[in-house]
Each structure stands twice: as structure tokens, then as C-alpha cells.
Structure 1
Amino acid sequence: MMKNFVLATALSLSASWSTASKPCLEARPSLPREMKESIDQLVERRMQHGHIPGLSLVVLREGRPVYVRGYGSANLESGEPMTACTRVSVGSTTKAMTALALMQLVEQGKVELDAPVTRYLPWFQTADGRGSGILVKQLLSHTSGMPAKSLLEGTTDDGALERRVRSFSQLSLAFAPGQGWMYSNTGYAAAGLIVQTVSGMPYEQYLASHVFQPLGMKHTSFGPPPEETGHLAQGYVWTRGDTRPAPMLLAREQHPAGSSTYSSARDVSYYLAALLAKGRGVHGRVITPESLHQMWQPAAATSADAAYGFGWELGSMYGRQVVYHDGSVVGGGSMFMLFPDDGLAVATLANLNGAHQQELAKAVAALLLGAEPPPAPPLVYRAPSTFVPDTSVWQKYVGDYILPIYGTMRLYVESGRLLADWTYTTPTQVLELEAYGDNDFVIRNELGINEGLNISFQGTPDGQVLLLMNGQPFGRRL
């Protein structure tokens, strides 16, 4: 009953926030036939390898869309095909849209990037008292110290976003503001609330009016689109060697971070074209070239050869500068890539999350740039175990583990299974550790979260127990 109410509410909200619907047609391809065939073969081969039911592709050359189409199934049960118009839950590629919206307010003089968050949210604080030192720009660059948390399902009422940000008073920072980098959905929730508070309109309405409409993104909404607009992909998860329909998880309090942004390849082509045009969309400018340039400047290093700006990752690929971001939610995902100096952009949207659709975008970009596509990532799957465990051995592993960045994990034995409650996600997810040996486990989860990753344990000379994920230290027992 509650689930039906939440869904009905979300549909109503989506109808209010989305732009008017018009027929969406596939773009006429203007790539050379040989390139088109090479792309089609690569996409179809890698979709099959990664068990991706449906995927849509966006290619821009010289700043304009030249290939926008769908592959596979939007819905395996009904047989509906994926098209350029099919809406998919894109995930964290939304963060760059949130950053763009906030930069619009900066341009209007309503927000200062170097101002503390408390100038716009006077009550904002964290449990350790350090929240008052967070600057607006640090929310956008993941340098605020706000902890990494993933909200899978929440509420959809008008007060959801502010309630979420007020709840951060119970969280402690992972590091002092500006003194590190940690990818943080919580930080982007706060950034979205600044947009909402300063603009005086709901976050979703602001994005629809000031980003989506000016760019011609008529098939983009928060929460699932109303039924009359059609073209909604069914999401899927890959778990226990099978592709299964994913539940629709809604959380308005996490919209600015990308919990449930639905968009189509056609709309994404308009969005990326505007970025390559330095902020000018089909119905006018949404950001100045100077502000966009600032978004694409390194604000923090994320690795030896990559950095993060405002809502975008920055690096080099195939000898060229690239601006990119991926998105991943239960039942969907995306990858947006721009090569500004080449006027090139590639994007993928898929109704199954994971590395395969993200790496597929990189492979298509390689073809377009005359480079060798990177190999497809290995499929993480082991057949069901035939090992008969001695469950008494598991007592060496049970207990509470601290996972740097990713919260805590409690391991326990129940009904002959080794289980783990993982607090990184809200609600807390239960992972099963399927035994393939006394110290050889594989994660299983009905939502496909960390599905197939290998877990083992290692003792240390000082008596600690380390939890290893794919052979690398991931946490330690308290």
C-alpha cells in the first residue's frame, strides 16, 4: 500500500517538474558507413558480453549529434526496444547538472563559491562541529569532508531534501574541509538544497525551468515520467548469473546527486552539444564560457593522472584531454564523455548498471579517435558453489568491520549463511558471502550491489583481521 502511494506521488510530481512531451524521433545517422558498422558491431558484442538488456548511444562530432540510437530491449518482458527516446535512470551524471544550476546562481551574484554553506543554510552543521567550515565550492568538488553515503530509497514529499540535509548534523566529517577528496552524495544533496533555497523554488522545478527547457530536454524528469509520455526503460540487475527486473527505488532527498533522474539519449545529445558550444543550447545560453571553464578546472586530484572539477572528472584519454562522469544506480546507469578540443562527445545510457556500459563509451570514443579500444572488462561471475562449508570456521570472521570511506559492515551467521549488514547504503543492505572455500567467498545481493566481488580474510601479526575485496584490503575488524 505504501509502495503504491509513493509511486503515485512520484508520478504526480514528475508530471509537474518535467517539460511538455512531444514525439521523439531517432536522429538520422551522418557517420560514414564503415564507422557506423564498426560502432554497431562493438556495441552489440559488448552488450552481450556484459549482459546489458538495452543501451542507447550518443555520438557528437564537430559539436553536433551524428549518431543517436538505441540497441537491445528497453523491456525484456514486453519486448519494447530501446530507442534514442527511451528514458533511463542515469544516476550520478546528474551531479554536473546540479553544479551547472549552482553556477548559474553564482553568475547572478546570488551565491559565492568561496562563501561558507552556512551563509545560505544558516542551520547547517555536522556532529563534530566542523560543518560550519565547509565552503560552497567544496561541495561541488567533493573536498568538503562530507562522508560517502548511498541512499537507495527514501521519500518524495516537498520537505525531503531539507530533512536529508538537516540529518547531516548526526554525521562527522571524514577530514577537515578542503584537506582531502572523497566522492560524496551527501555533499551534492547540500549543494542542491542551496539551489532550492536561494532560487526560492523546488530543486526539480529550477532544473526543469533553467536547464532542461532551455536545452530542449523535453524528455528529462526527476522520478519516473508520467505514463502518457511513454518510453520508460525497465531497469535490471545482474545477480547470481541471471538478469532480473530491478525495483524502482525513489528518493527525492537525493535528487541532486542523481538518485532518480530519467533522461533519453536524444536529450543527452542536446545537453552535450550545449556544453561543447560553451554553454549555448537550442533555446539560449545556460552558462557562460567562463563559468563552464571554471567547472572544468582541477579542484582536487583523484589519482596520479586524474582530477575532479565541479561535477566532472578530468583527465586524458587517447592522448587528448577528456571531461567525463559516470552514473550508476540500481537498474540503470550512464557515461558522459566530452573531448572539448576535438568537438567530440560520446555517451551511453543503459538499463543495467556497472562497468560494462561505462567502458563501452570509452571503446566507442577510441574508434572515433582512431585509437585501439580498450578490452572489455571481465565479467564478474562464478557458477554457484558446490563447496560444503564448515560453518564453525566462519566464527573467525564474524564481527564488526570498519571500512574507510564506505561505513561499517557487520558479519554474522544466520540460517547456515554468512551474511553482512553494510551501512554504506540506506536502507542498510544485506550481502550474502557465498562460500567457495574456507577463506574464499563471493558477494551475492538481490539488487546486484557488489555482486560477484571476491571476499577473503587475512590475519595480521598484531591480531587484527583484515577484510580483502578482490585481494585488496577493504576494511578491518574492530
Structure 2
Amino acid sequence: MPFRGDPRACARWPAGTRLSGAVLAAAFLLAAAAPPAHARTGERQADLPAAVDAAVAEYRAATGLPGAAVAVTHGTEAVHLAGYGSTPSGAAVTERTPMAVASVSKSFTALAVLQLVDEGRVDLDAPVRDHLPEFEMADPRAADITVRQLLDQTSGMSDTTFGAFSRPQPASLREAVAGMRSAGLAAAPGERWEYHNPNFQVAARLVEVVSGASFSDYLDAHVFDPLGMADSSTNDTDQDLPPSAYGHVTLLGRPVAAPEPPAFGNGSGGVVSSARDMAAWLIAQHGGGRGADGTRILSADAVRESHTPSPGADSYGLGWQVGATPSGAALVHHGGDLFTSTAYQALLPESGHGVAVMANTGMAAGDASAIAEAVIAVIEGRETPPPGQSPLVVGADAVLLGLAVAAVPLAGLGVRRSVRWGARRVDAPSHGTVLRLLPLAVPVVLFAGIHRVVGFLYRGRDVAWIQVAYLYPAFLLLLGLAALGCTAVAVARAAALVRARRAAAR
């Protein structure tokens, strides 16, 4: 999102790019004169690991990214699995290190639902309530929400009518669904697409009720175990993640280790996995629902449907986004953003490659998707601009921190001068004095409600106050010190005025 599952991480490249007929003709002539395709592919696969390692090393050197894990697959093979750097505790990141995949989890939830559809236990186009009677909302139109509309995010549910993060956080999927009873809809079901994490929390709860197992146990038995994903699990809250899945915020261009802010995310963002396990997952997706050893976890038709945009859902399928790479090749992908880590997965149907990246810096950095772009460029034989941090971002942090430091002595000066201020206003009318003090309340009010301002700027996305500290730490520090300083000056002036007036009365 930029909150858990923010669609920015799901749409990095333009969709619908197509080659002209002339370019296709030229490509055909070049192909006729070139070595056989399998020979070129074999050469690229042999060189791929070293090229990926070099791209990641260059990226980490330029950005200071502490740790990342990368999986690259081709057909039924994992052609490159690697960990780079370290976790916040200093442990080396390896191909077996469990890391958060954030909203990439939505693809797992969609697959779990589609498994039940394959078995005939769930009707994808039936109302959710047919399978989950406990799903109630204040808006009567919610009775028409279908299972498909949860997975393609056209249910009409919205951050603007249900604050998933700013409300008290649930402890289970049952509580998450129960908490929606007072919520309304922003649109009629099927009317428009809108990214909303609770869609997938309802879907995960549906899996629990229909299967009779907890969502965690269901994924273990029907996805992780059959594919040999021994490092993977799903978690209710961000506080349940293993230590290796925590990450960093970025300040002055440098990573600072931080715990993930409290939030519920099972179904929408709770999966933890490793590079090794994500390779198994990508192979099954490319293989029409079959793992590398032939184990089937989903029908080919259901996999194909999940990778196909739904009508009215823009480029969103069922837990997957559909688009194109800069070269015009088809791309099926999904990103995931937490506040201290990011993830990205991509399938390249035309070449048969899959890419998964997990990075232990938060959404403000966008490192996982950036590394994935570089890896896909390597696969496609394209050049990419050299990576690096924006000097504007680092400079802005420096300015904000400088202002924050300056706010402290300025507040002290205001407090010391409050006696003179009170003496000057002994005979002033009260309403005029209040108007003079009122501007000091602006930083206080803004500090208390900054999450609402940020949510508005992000087009109505719901934001908890603590999450702003992870997105804009330098700004929030400045705002907090300004609010504290203004409060101190206002109290000192009011006290000085009271004393001055009492002295004048005597």
C-alpha cells in the first residue's frame, strides 16, 4: 500500500505498446538470418546469473540498499536464485531468507479462491454472501458483490468509505470482516475499479469458511507444501513477521532499521517467502498451474483467467496486473509495498521468464520494482539508465532536518519573549489576543491530522497517522518540533498575559 498493495507498484510500465507492421517485418528478416532461437536462448541463460548479479550490485552500490533477494526462472527451471546484503539484524540475505512480499500476497489469495472454484465449492460469479453469510455492510448494494469482484477489485469497496488502516486493527480475518458491517460502498458493485486491501481480506475469510481451515493452514496444505515452499507462510499482522522480514526507512538517503507499523494484512499482504520459494511459485504460474515436478495446484484455465484483465477493471485480473515491458513484450505482474520493505513479481509469457524481487527498504524507495526493471532489461537485452538516488530527495531531507533543528532555539526565544508579549497586551481586547495566538495552533492541528492530508493527496487512500512517519520522517519530525514549540510559546504567552493582567489589577 503507496500503502500495502499500492497500485503504483502494480503498474510500472505502459500497457498496450505494440510493434508496427514494418518493425515486425524487419524483425522477421533479422530472425531468418540469425542463429536458431534455442541457441541464442541457451547463451543468454548461461550469461544471465552473472548479468543479474552485476545489475543488483550496481544498484546497491548506487542506492545503499541494505538487502535484497532475487529469483529468475525460465520455463520449469530456476535459473538464478540469490540473496544480497543483509537483514536489519546483520544476518546475510540468502536465497532461503524469508522476506515480506506485501501485496504480492493478493496473487496467493486469488489462487486459493480459484482452487475452490475448480473444485466446484465456490461460484466465482455468485454473491459473496452465498459462501460467506457473515459478510455484511451498511450499504444494501453489498449483497450484490460477487467473489470475482473481490479479486478484480471492482466490488465498490473503497478506502474513502472504510478506513482499513486508520481504524482499530483487527486480530483475525473474522474480525476484519466483522469490522466492515458499518461501512458503505463508494460505487455500485462492478461499476469501477478501485484498489482496496479489504477485498482480499474478505476473500481470504471466504477460503477459511468454505474450506473449514484457517487461511494459514489452507495455504500450507494447498499451495506451499505441494510446491515445496518450505520458507513461506502467511501472517495476520505485521508484528507476526519473522525478524528477517523487517526492513528500513530511508532518511538522508541512508537506510534506518525500523519495525513495521501496526497493521492487519492477512489475505491482502501477509505472505512471507524466499527467493527459492518464489521461484517455485513463478514456475507454477508459467506452467499453467503445475509445479516444476508436475504437481498441479490449479487448472490451466483458472491460471489463464487470473492473468486476464476483467471487464471494467482496467488492466487488473484476479490478483495480477497485465501490461507490457518497454520493449512491448507482454507482462503479467504485481507489486507489494510495506513501509519498511517492498516486493515485485513478474511473468514474461513470450520468453517464459519469471522474476521475483524482495527488498528490505520501504515504499518510499521503491527498490524491489526498480531492481525488477533492471533484471527484466537484462533478460530482454536492453540498456537501462544507471541507478542512483535523487539528490533532490536527499537535499529535501537535509533542509527539513535543518529546519527541525532550528525550530528548537526559535521556540526557546519565543518563550523567553513571552513576558514582554504579555505586558504589551494587558489592555488589548480578548478577541484580538486570541487571534494573535491562533496561528500558533496551525502546526499543532496539522501535526494531529497529517494522515488525513496525506490520504487526500494520495487520492483518498486511507493512512494511519504512524504511517506518515515512515513515509516522510524528516517532514514529520519538523512538524512535530514546530507543533511542540508553538504549544510552548502559546502556553508561555497566555501565562504571561494572565500574570500581567493580575499585576495591573493590583
Shared fold, TM over 0.5: yes
Instruction: Answer yes or no: is the 8 Å Cα contact 1:85–1:231 preserved in 2.
Output: no
Establish whether residue 147 from structure 1 lines up as the match of residue 158 from structure 2: yes
- Equivalent position amino acid for 2:204 in 1: G
Query: C-alpha deviations, 1:88-125, integer Å up to 9, x for none?
Result: 11100010000000000001111001101111122423
The higher relative CO (CA closer than 8 Å, separation ≥ 6) is in 2
The answer on 1:421 being equivalent to 2:429 is: no
Q: Which residue identity lines up with residue 328 of structure 1 in the other structure?
A: D
> What are structure 1's unaligned runs of at least 5 residues?
1-29, 400-410, 432-444, 454-478
For residue 171 of structure 1, what is the amino acid of its counterpart? A
Is 1:193 aligned to 2:195, yes or no?
no
Q: How many residues are matched?
A: 384
Distance 2:133 2:446 in 1: 51
For 1:10-89, list aligned pairs within 5 A: 34-75=47-88, 78-89=89-100
Q: Distance in 1 between matches of 2:262 and 2:276?
A: 24
Pairwise CA distance, 1:237: 1.4
Q: Distance in 2 between matches of 1:117 and 1:38?
A: 47
Task: Give deviations 1:339-393, integer Å, cap 9, x for gaps.
Answer: 12311011111111332221210221111112233664853332233557999xx
The CA deviation at 1:126 is: 2.1
Partner SS, residue 443 of structure 2: strand
1:124-139 map, 5 Å: 124-139=135-150
Are residues 430 and 200 of structure 1, via their aligned partners in 2, closer, same or farther at CA, if it must alter by over 3 Å?
closer
Q: Compute the RMSD of aligned alpha carbons.
A: 3.5
Counting aligned pairs with the same residue, the percent is: 31
Cα 1:272/1:115, change in 2 over 3 Å? same
- Label 1:302 to 1:370 Cα distance change in 2 as closer, same or farther (>3 A): farther
Q: Residue 266 of structure 1 is aligned with which of 268, 276, 283?
A: 276
Single out whichever of 311-320 and 96-105 deviates more from structure 2: 311-320
Q: Is the 8 A contact 2:258 2:340 kept in 1?
A: yes
Greater helix share, 1 or 2? 2
CA distance in 2 between partners of 1:418 and 1:153 (Å) = 15
Inter-CA distance 82–101: structure 2 relative to 1 (3 Å threshold):
same
**Contact residue 74 and residue 86 of structure 1 kept, 8 A:** no
Q: 2:351 aligns with which of 335, 342, 352?
A: 342
1:31 Cα deviation (Å)? 6.5
What is the aligned counterpart of 2:324 among 316, 326, 329? 316
Letter in 1 for 2:335: D
Unaligned runs of 5+ in 2: 1-42, 412-434, 477-506
Matched residue, 1:447: 470
- How far off its partner does 1:249 sit? 4.9
Work out whether residues 86 and 231 of structure 1, in 8 Å CA contact, stay in contact via their aligned partners in 2: no
Seen in structure 2, the aligned counterparts of structure 1 residues 61 and 211 have a Cα distance that, compared at 3 Å, is same
Q: Is the 8 A contact 1:412 1:420 kept in 2?
A: no
Q: CA deviation at 1:47?
A: 2.4
Shift of residue 155 of structure 1?
Answer: 6.4
Superposed counterparts of 1:4-15, under 5 Å: none
Of 303, 307, 310, the match for 1:296 = 307
Separation (CA, whole Å) in 2 of partners of 1:116 and 1:209: 26
In 1, are the aligned partners of 2:154 and 2:313 still within 8 Å (CA)? Answer: no
Q: What TM-score results when the alignment is normalised by the length of structure 1?
A: 0.72
Secondary structure at 1:335 match in 2? strand
Which secondary structure does the structure 2 equivalent of 1:413 belong to? helix
Q: 1:239 aligns with which of 251, 263, 269?
A: 251
Contact 2:165-2:464 at 8 Å conserved across structures: no
SS in structure 1 at match of 2:65: coil
Instruction: Report how far residue 452 of structure 1 moved.
Output: 7.5
| Partner of residue 8, structure 1 | none
Match of 1:97 among 108, 114, 118: 108
Separation in structure 1 between the aligned mates of residue 190 and residue 131 of structure 2, nearest angstrom: 19
Q: 1:89 touches 1:331 (CA, 8 Å); kept in 2?
A: no
Distance 1:236 1:210, change over 3 A: same
The reply on whether 1:218 has 2:241 as its aligned counterpart is no
- Aligned-partner Cα distance in 2 for 1:184–1:346: 25
Letter aligned with residue 169 of structure 1: R
Distance, in Å, in 2 between the alignment partners of 1:116 and 1:450 is 43
Q: Give the Cα separation in 2 of the matches to 1:98 and 1:263.
A: 14
SS of 1:447's partner is helix
Distance 1:345 1:63 in 2: 10
Q: Give the letter aligned to residue 52 of structure 2.
A: I
CA offset at residue 272 of structure 1? Answer: 0.5
C-alpha distance in 2 between matches for 1:338 and 1:416? 43
In the superposition, relative to structure 1, how do residues 338 and 122 fare at CA in structure 2: closer, same or farther (>3 Å)?
Answer: same
Q: Closer, same or farther in 2 for the Cα pair 1:232/1:175, shift >3 Å?
A: same
- Tell me, in whole angstroms, the C-alpha distance in 2 between the residues paired with 1:187 and 1:315: 22
Equivalence for 1:168: 180
Report the Cα distance in structure 2 between the residues aligned to 1:188 and 1:233, rounded to whole angstroms: 21
Aligned residue in 2 for 1:277: 287
Contact 2:449/2:465 (<8 A) preserved: no
Judged with a 3 Å threshold, the aligned counterparts in structure 2 of structure 1 residues 372 and 451 are, in CA distance, closer, same or farther, namely: farther
Q: Using the alignment, how far apart are the partners of 1:451 and 1:195 within structure 2? A: 42
> 2:185 is paired with a residue of what secondary structure?
coil
Q: Which residue of 2 aligns with 1:181?
A: 193
Give per-residue Cα distances to partners, 1:287-345, cap 9 Å, x unaligned: 01011111111115666xxx000000001112211100001112222100001231101
Please state whether the residue corresponding to 1:255 is helix, strand or coil.
coil
Q: Counting strand residues as a fraction of each chain, which structure ranks higher?
A: 1
Answer yes or no: is the 8 Å Cα contact 2:69–2:83 preserved in 1.
yes
Q: Which residue of the partner structure matches residue 22 of structure 1? A: none
For 1:356, which of 367, 371, 395 is the aligned residue? Answer: 367
Distance (whole Å) between structure 2 residues aligned to residue 421 and residue 186 of structure 1: 19
1:384 aligns to 2:399 (yes or no): yes
Describe the shift of the 1:300–1:35 C-alpha distance in structure 2 as closer, same or farther (beyond 3 A).
Answer: same
- Determine the C-alpha separation between the residues in 1 that align with 2:167 and 2:63: 26
| 1:112/1:44 CA distance change after superposition, 3 Å | same
- The amino acid across from 2:451 in the alignment is D
Task: Report the Cα distance in structure 1 between the residues aligned to 2:134 and 2:446, rounded to whole angstroms.
Answer: 48
Q: Does 1:255 align with 2:263?
A: no
C-alpha distance in structure 2 between counterparts of 1:122 and 1:207, whole Å: 22
- Contact 2:357-2:369 within 8 A present in 1 as well: yes
The 1:173–1:48 alpha-carbon spacing in structure 2 relative to 1, beyond 3 Å, is farther
**1:7 matched residue in structure 2:** none
Instruction: Report deviation, 1:418.
Output: 8.4
Seen in structure 2, the aligned counterparts of structure 1 residues 342 and 276 have a Cα distance that, compared at 3 Å, is same
Q: Which amino acid aligns with 2:399?
A: P
Shift of 1:79: 3.0
**Pair 1:86–1:154, CA change in 2 (3 A):** farther
